[in-house]
């Protein structure tokens, strides 16, 4: 039975969301538009089965085709990143991170990660997350001195100092609001000096790594976790990868039965589709265009007087400090104005933040979804002009209305497929 006839209320909500996505420019750096094939697999009959366990070792009968699709997802993922072992069952990036922590740590163990205010993630040791309550995070920072040419880049002196003082079991790299390339090789050199495990959470940059637009975490990292949406453009889910067989066994046990029950096999089927798409040559073209678009966005906004964290970008996102342009404009208000005109972004803390995380002095913008829709550098320049107009509008209705008309014109030129 069709959804429209069986539940018209939900059907209408979904239809409205489809219209919203068509008529807005999605610039949240952690979001993207999955292909019709990915969504078809996720909405398939694969949702109907319990498949606790792993291929060939299930706790339920009738799993022949579920073994087949999970093995395919693992094979494609390992080929994509050049690793030996992978677990595709984590329901999310947070679940993948928790499983790794469950496998590697005892309560109270130390691990090194970046400060949340410098671009980290809740699962990297935030006090409100199990990673901060159960474990002992020790933190490194970005370069803070704005007189330096590498201001806003990873401060490897800080990394070294933290490792030397605390001798944590694990060092984490990979961030949610860091606009520069991560040197996994350099992190591995530091990890080896202190006999530590190197763990990369590449949730934001996985697609760029897979597409050759960012350094691959392998063979440098002992373990790599990621989401499967964002730049990888798949369904919402998580993955764990490694080259170490013993670590792989530990991670498998930490996922099931350690922290999850039955895997979401319809999502794993969609992951297999997304990994297959990412193995195609056109995905490399896409990944390179994401970065070119982000660089153009950075140069356009920088030229209009906006202060960018690290003064630019090497990847898919930029972080704007609004204070030099409008000292009274908060990130929260800026994101609301942008949403009013049809540009979807998020408020974000910035280096040397002076406001609370519920207000912030910055906004984060990304180019993955716009690139999926087909926008190129010249189109991004036009979008940057609309962003500038919106942020300088002081909230005036006429200016916001004009910016909204310009957004709708861009959306009409690049329809959703």
Each residue's pLDDT tens digit, 61-114: 999 999 999 999 999 999 999 999 999 999 999 999 999 999 999 999 999 999
pLDDT band at 184 (very low <50, low <70, confident <90, very high): very high
φ/ψ of 41, rounded to 5, equals -65, -40
Pairwise CA distance, residues 238 & 200, whole Å: 13
Structure-token match 């993207």, residue found: 32
Residues paired with residue 54 on neighbouring β-strands, in sequence order:
57
Pairwise CA distance, residues 260 & 251, whole Å: 12
- Which whole-number Å values give the CA distances from 32 to 3, 142, 219, 236, in the listed order? 25, 27, 27, 10
pLDDT in tens, 238-281: 999 999 999 999 999 999 999 999 999 999 999 999 999 999 99
Stated pTM of the model: 0.96
Q: Given a cut of 90, is residue 3 above it in pLDDT?
A: yes
The edge-to-edge listing of strands for the beta sheet with 317-321 is: 307-308, 317-321, 362-366, 346-348
Pairwise CA distance, residues 144 & 147, whole Å: 9
Residue 45 per-residue DSSP state: G
For residue 294, what pLDDT is reported?
98
For residue 289, what pLDDT is reported?
98
| Residue 127: Cβ within 10 Å count | 10
Pairwise CA distance, residues 315 & 288, whole Å: 9
For residue 390, what pLDDT is reported?
98
Residues noted as catalytic: 50, 52, 201, 227, 230, 236
Share of the chain above pLDDT 90, in %: 95
pLDDT in tens, 134-156: 999 999 999 999 999 999 999 99
For residue 116, what pLDDT is reported?
85
Of 298, 237, 280, 299, nearest to 99 (Cα)?
A: 237
φ/ψ of 205, rounded to 5, equals -110, 10
Angle 349-178-388 from CA coordinates, rounded to 5°: 60
Q: What is the mean pLDDT of residues 22-50?
A: 97
Pairwise CA distance, residues 192 & 351, whole Å: 29
For residue 353, what pLDDT is reported?
87
The alpha carbon dihedral of 190, 193, 194, 196 has a sign of positive
Of 93, 47, 55, nearest to 73 (Cα)?
A: 55
For residue 1, what pLDDT is reported?
65
Domains and CATH numbers, the chain: 11-30+288-413 (3.90.1150.10), 43-278 (3.40.640.10)
First to last CA, the chain: 24
pLDDT in tens, 116-126: 888 888 899 89
Q: Given a cut of 70, is residue 372 above it in pLDDT?
A: yes
For residue 157, what pLDDT is reported?
97
Residue 60 per-residue DSSP state: S
Structure tokens at 303: 């030229």
Cα 233 to chain centroid distance, Å, stands at 10
For residue 108, what pLDDT is reported?
96
pLDDT in tens, 225-240: 999 999 999 999 999 9
By DSSP bridging, strand 57-58 and strand 110-114 are unpaired
Q: Given a cut of 70, is residue 327 above it in pLDDT?
A: yes
Pairwise CA distance, residues 42 & 34, whole Å: 11
Q: Given a cut of 80, is residue 193 above it in pLDDT?
A: yes
Averaged confidence pLDDT in the chain: 97
Share of the chain above pLDDT 70, in %: 100
Q: Given a cut of 70, is residue 368 above it in pLDDT?
A: yes
Cβ 27 vs Cβ 369: under 8 Å: yes
């Amino acid at each position: 039975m069709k959804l429209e006839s069986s539940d018209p209320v939900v059907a209408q909500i979904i239809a409205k969301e489809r219209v919203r996505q068509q008529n807005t420019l999605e610039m949240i750096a952690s979001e993207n538009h999955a292909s019709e094939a990915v969504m078809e697999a996720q909405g398939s009959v694969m949702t109907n089965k319990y498949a606790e366990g792993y291929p060939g070792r299930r706790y339920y009968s009738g799993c022949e085709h579920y073994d087949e699709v999970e093995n395919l997802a693992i094979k494609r993922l390992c080929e994509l990143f050049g690793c030996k072992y992978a677990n595709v069952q984590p329901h999310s990036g947070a679940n993948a991170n928790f499983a790794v922590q469950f496998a590697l740590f005892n309560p109270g163990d130390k691990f090194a990660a970046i400060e949340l205010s410098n671009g980290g993630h809740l699962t990297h040791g935030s006090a409100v997350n199990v990673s901060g309550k159960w474990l002992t995070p020790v933190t490194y920072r970005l370069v803070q001195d704005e007189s330096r040419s590498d201001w806003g880049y990873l401060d490897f002196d800080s990394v070294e100092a933290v490792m030397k003082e605390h001798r944590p079991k694990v060092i984490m790299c990979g961030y949610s609001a860091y606009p520069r390339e991560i040197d996994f090789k350099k992190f591995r050199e530091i990890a080896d000096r202190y006999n530590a495990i190197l763990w990369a959470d590449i949730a934001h940059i996985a697609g760029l790594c897979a597409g050759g637009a960012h350094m691959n975490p392998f063979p440098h990292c002992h373990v790599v976790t990621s989401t499967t949406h964002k730049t990888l453009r798949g369904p919402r889910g998580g993955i764990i990868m490694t080259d170490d067989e013993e670590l792989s066994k530990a991670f498998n046990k930490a996922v099931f039965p350690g922290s999850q029950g039955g895997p979401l096999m319809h999502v794993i089927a969609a992951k297999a589709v997304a990994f297959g798409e990412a193995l195609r040559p056109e995905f490399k073209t896409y990944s390179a265009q994401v970065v070119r678009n982000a660089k153009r966005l950075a140069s356009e906004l920088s030229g209009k007087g906006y202060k960018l964290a690290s003064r630019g970008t090497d990847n898919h996102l930029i972080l704007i400090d609004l204070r030099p342009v409008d000292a009274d404009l908060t990130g929260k208000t800026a994101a609301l104005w942008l949403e009013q005109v049809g540009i979807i972004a998020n408020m974000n803390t910035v280096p040397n933040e002076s406001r609370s995380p519920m207000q912030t002095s910055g906004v984060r913008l990304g180019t993955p979804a716009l690139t999926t829709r087909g926008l190129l550098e010249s189109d991004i320049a036009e979008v940057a002009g609309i962003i500038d107009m919106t942020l300088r509008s002081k909230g005036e209705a006429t200016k916001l209305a004009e910016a909204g008309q310009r957004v709708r014109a861009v959306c009409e030129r690049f329809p959703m497929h």
